[in-house]
Amino acid sequence: MTSSTGTGTGRALGALVLGGVLLGCSPILVRISEIGPVATAFWRLLWALVPLVVLFANASRRGSAGRLPASLAEHLTAALPGIFLAGDLATWHISLHMTSVTNSTLLANMAPIVVTLVSWLLLRERISGAFLAGLVLSIAGVVVLNGAGLSRGAGSHLHGDLVALLAACFYAGYFMMLSRARTHFSTITVMLWSTTAAAILVLPIALLFERAFVPYALAGWLVLIALGWLVHAAGQGVITYALAWLPATFSSLTLLIQPVVAAVLARVILAEPLGGRQIAGGSIVIAGILLARRKA
């Protein structure tokens, strides 16, 4: 039993890191999308439903889909992460067009602080001093990676930074609700219900506020498909799987690897600066995650 649990936790940790890497590709894809940020969020969710529906149908035929929601309360439990996800995607995608990729990804990933505070203050979970040390170290790392924290001055992107912080609050809520739903339902069920709910909520916002809703070239569609299949269906899918084995506090902290991945990709694709400070920051983030994991 202990060996099986250890193996499952090890696989979950690997899945969590993989999910963080895949999600780290998201800000670059959003920035190069031909359409508006909220419309991009909608198409990301809609395209993700294609493989999710296929996987759910296959799992149902094999009898491996697990228990399905029966009552209204259970449907809400499975769909509730999607409500927070809709807010997260809308605000984060908007922030990516109002501030730098590094700033937006950094601030939107402050969710571990919110998750830890909620777990401690409201859920009365025990948070060890060693875990808090790892959290502080990782947060310090993303601040160093960012270079100067929040944007300032005449050329400031302060409004974009604040929108990214709002996204962090939505993302924290998404993570907490996702962890709760995962204790009741399988990965594919939670992914399908939450993604559907998020798409339904994001659609009217996109139609109301976006001028460019449909890509005009094949390359634009390929970006949206990559966001849907690679980032959401695969990335969020393996994270949802991992939450059955790992606590939300540690999982949200581990996903701070996203700003590191985003900073590297921003340097390669968008020619955003990546110097010694950013490399040091990324190293500190990873050290904090390892500390939290070793002492969790």
pLDDT in tens, 183-240: 999 999 999 999 999 999 999 989 988 888 999 899 999 999 999 999 999 999 999 9
The model's confidence at residue 181, banded by pLDDT at 50, 70 and 90, is very high
- Read off the tokens for 134: 């790892």
User: 271: left (phi > 0), else alpha (psi -120 to 50), else beta?
Assistant: left
Residue 150 lies inside a defined structural domain of this protein: yes
Question: Cα angle vertex 198, ends 165, 73, to 5°?
Answer: 110
Q: 158-182 and 111-121 are packed helices; what angle lies between their axes, rounded to 10 degrees? A: 50
2 lies in some domain = no
Domain-embedded: residue 205:
yes
For residue 123, what are its two tokens?
């859920």
**pLDDT confidence of residue 147:** 61
The number of folded domains in the chain is 1
Rounded to whole angstroms, the Cα distance separating 285 from 296 reads 16
Identify whether 23 is part of a domain.
no
Residue 199 is assigned to a structural domain of this protein: yes
Residue 18 lies in a domain: no
**The predicted structure's pLDDT at residue 238:** 92
pLDDT in tens, 37-72: 889 999 999 999 999 999 999 999 988 888 899 999
For 233-284, how does the pLDDT look when each residue is reduced to its tens digit (9 = 90+)? 999 999 999 888 888 777 777 777 777 777 777 777 766 666 677 678 778 8
Average pLDDT, the chain: 82
Q: Are 166 and 108 within 8 A, CB to CB?
A: no
pLDDT score for 58: 94
- Is 28 within a domain? no
The parent domain of residue 131 ranges over: 36-295
Whether 25 is in a domain gets the answer no
